[in-house]
Structure 1
Amino acid sequence: MLAGPDIRRHLLREEGEVIVDEVRHHWIVYVLPALEAALGVALVLWTAVVRADLAWLPFSVGLCVLAHAGWRAMREHMDRFVITNMRVFRVHGVLSQQLATMPLTRILDITVSKPLHGRLLGFGHFCFESAAQEQGLRDITYVGRPDERDLAIQRVVQRSGLRGPRVH
């Protein structure tokens, strides 16, 4: 579990499904948990200069902040978006896990949003539009190399013959 979600167990091997790309979150999602962890360490270390009878307070708060930072980092680490030759799916969750799947046939449109800081740092956000009103696979945030990932999805859709032949 700590190494990451077991993506391969969700594949339809008998149907010939293979992974085209497994997308982890961009490193930027770990900045806030890292800053939070640094604050937790500072609070724990601060116990060395605080009166002995009050040292338990910054120590306890520091441990709580460290635990929260670890939880946030693990939550991001366990969130994966997967592109296969048949569908796209997202697996996320630390203790309990959720799986949201969308067959390639249901993808009507993909919007790639790249805010300024995302363009500078190399990440973007995907918004999938499908025939369904709301699905669990609508927004995929902090995707590294979003243009390459978008092209990978478009290639898989094109190769599967779902959009018809290319016109030259």
Structure 2
Amino acid sequence: MAERYLLRGEHTVVVTRRHWVKLTGPAVAVTLALALTLWVAASGTVGNGLNLVLVLPGVVAAWAGWRWLEWRKEWFIATDRRLLRTYGILTQRVAMMPLAKVTDMSYDRSILGRLLGYGQFVMESAGQDQALSEITFVPDPDEKYQAMCETIFGREISDPGEDGVHWEDGYDDDQVRDEGRHWEPVDRSQLPYDWEWVGEEARGARAATRRRVAVDPDPTPLR
């Protein structure tokens, strides 16, 4: 089901329905309606009131069946790029929020949630989508919370001074992540006359800034 909404190269992190406790309300309603019908039938009451009570279980069962279909059609999907919520029976709806917009995510578990194994995620973002602001009744919430936090807040950070080259923890200044670039040694004679040559000692002193060996002092584009 999730593959219908995935983009090329996008990978799922969490795919889940709501916890089964979401259906306890309809289940209790059906049980009470059946119990009331059996009690009235056993009491021997006759008349129009009995016919009305006999119809009640069918109406409640139809309502409970609709709620069950809603539960079956609703999915929460977290990928390495987006958060999605699909819902709706007659009209299928998809709410989407890019991970880049998520500024914070809180995780709540009530006493009943700890006993039955569900929790609630509350998303905070700029231009927040109400359909994704709260995800309630999430089953196995500990595992899903860790996976989502690692995806949302554990993404590699790019250094804007490196023109898109990404740096990760564990890389030093001489280790650049391979992104299809091929680096070769450059001889001083091959550089333009107005470029500054940075020697090894100066390069070591500027290691924190991650400067390259050759720097163009005038970045104005050529016309």
Q: Same fold (TM over 0.5)?
A: yes
Contact 1:88 1:103 in 2 (8 A): yes
- Tell me the amino acid that sits aligned with residue 17 of structure 1: E
Asked if 1:35 corresponds to 2:32, the answer is: no
| Distance in 1 separating the partners of 2:60 and 2:39 | 14
- Structure 1 position 155, deviation (Å): 2.3
Asked if 1:152 corresponds to 2:150, the answer is: no
- Tell me the amino acid that sits aligned with residue 17 of structure 2: R
- Tell me the amino acid that sits aligned with residue 125 of structure 1: Q
Identity across the alignment (%): 35
| Distance in 2 separating the partners of 1:45 and 1:112 | 43
Q: Deviations over 1:106-163 (max 9, x none)?
A: 1111100111211222111111111214543111001112221111112223564268
- Equivalent in 12, 20, 41 of residue 13 of structure 2: 20
Q: TM-score, normalised by structure 2?
A: 0.63
Name the CA shift for 1:43/1:71 in 2 (closer, same or farther; >3 Å): farther
Q: Report the number of matched residues.
A: 160
Contact 1:127 1:138 in 2 (8 A): yes
Q: Deviations over 1:38-61 (max 9, x none)?
A: 123334545643445433211212
Unaligned stretches of 5+ in structure 2?
Answer: 159-166, 171-223
Name the CA shift for 1:9/1:162 in 2 (closer, same or farther; >3 Å): farther
Asked if 1:56 corresponds to 2:48, the answer is: no
Contact 1:37 1:70 in 2 (8 A): no
Aligned to 1:71: 66
Name the CA shift for 1:149/1:73 in 2 (closer, same or farther; >3 Å): same
| Distance in 2 separating the partners of 1:62 and 1:110 | 42
Asked if 1:124 corresponds to 2:110, the answer is: no
Unaligned stretches of 5+ in structure 1?
Answer: 1-5
| Distance in 2 separating the partners of 1:58 and 1:106 | 52
- Tell me the amino acid that sits aligned with residue 86 of structure 1: R
- Structure 1 position 29, deviation (Å): 1.0
| Distance in 1 separating the partners of 2:62 and 2:25 | 14
| Distance in 2 separating the partners of 1:44 and 1:7 | 42
Q: Deviations over 1:21-78 (max 9, x none)?
A: 2111112111111111212333454564344543321121221111112222222222
Aligned to 1:105: 100
Name the CA shift for 1:134/1:81 in 2 (closer, same or farther; >3 Å): closer
Q: TM-score, normalised by structure 1?
A: 0.81
- Structure 1 position 20, deviation (Å): 2.1
- Tell me the amino acid that sits aligned with residue 26 of structure 1: H
- Tell me the amino acid that sits aligned with residue 11 of structure 2: V
Q: Deviations over 1:58-102 (max 9, x none)?
A: 121221111112222222222210011211100112222221111
Question: Larger relative CO (CA 8 A, sep 6+): 1 or 2?
Answer: 1
- Structure 1 position 8, deviation (Å): 2.3
- Tell me the amino acid that sits aligned with residue 93 of structure 2: Q
Aligned to 1:3: none
